[in-house]
Amino acid sequence: METEGLEWLLVPVQQLVSWGAAGAMVFGGVVPYVPQYRDIRRTQNAEGFSTYVCLVLLVANILRILFWFGRRFESPLLWQSIIMIITMLLMLKLCTEVRVSNELNIKRRSFADFDLNYFWHWSKFTDYVQCVLTFTGVTGYITYLCLDSSLFVETLGFLAVFTEAMLGVPQLYRNYRNRSTEGMSVKMVLMWTSGDTFKTVYFILNQAPFQFSICGLLQVFVDIAILLQVYLYSSYPQKPMSHPVHPASAKAL
């Protein structure tokens, strides 16, 4: 009798925990960017944040959505990708507006120029949207043609999560080159670390495709490396690396 009573209580509790975990997966990934977005908006300075982080996440989540058509995984992971794409577009919009307003160079660059020196360093947000739509269209068409190939589908899944695992690398390199983490939100990186740890555990417990778990662990290691940079450069200030100025300039990152 007591066992039946406990089961009656445990079932809704387990359901609530399941819903909570799913909600954390869907929205938890975008939370780290809230403090960074607010810092950029408040200071009107986007130099400390690498917009290549947005590029990495856009590519990774577009590929993950395409992977879903070949191998269905849990819906919270699918919704997480959709929410993340929207968030990265909002981050790009803000960073582009702030950067252009602070630039002295009046010459404008666009996606249609097809100038690799200025790739992902365009003057209008619409150029980034055009690039994202072009990438989505091309990869979507290739995926449609190759959906019957299990090798292609599994490779697509690996590329999606491996690209996402490289999320922190642009920021890691930017910090290394500047010998500083100034302008980067430490709260964002702390949230990256906690979120990636939770996400990796979620992948393992829910038996997600093995690519997800492996690359989740890689993400955690990169996050820890960035946190080590925060400690190193704050405790032992260093001079920025000297590097030649070229057309793309440091702002390309």
Task: Give the separation between CA 210 and CA 79, rounded to whole angstroms.
Answer: 19
Rounded to whole angstroms, what are the CA distances from 137 to 40, 49, 62, 167, 241?
31, 28, 10, 23, 39
| pTM of structure | 0.74
Q: What is the pLDDT of residues 26-74, one digit of tens each?
A: 787 788 888 889 989 998 888 878 888 899 899 999 999 999 999 888 7
Q: What is the mean pLDDT of the chain?
A: 82
Q: Once rounded to an integer, what is the mean pLDDT over residues 209-226?
A: 84
pLDDT computed for residue 94 by the predictor: 95
* pLDDT higher than threshold 50 for residue 112: yes
**Per-residue pLDDT at 244 exceeds 60:** no
For 165-209, write each residue's pLDDT tens digit: 887 887 888 888 888 888 787 888 888 888 888 878 877 887 777
Distances in Å between the alpha carbon of 211 and those of 22, 64, 122?
Answer: 19, 11, 33
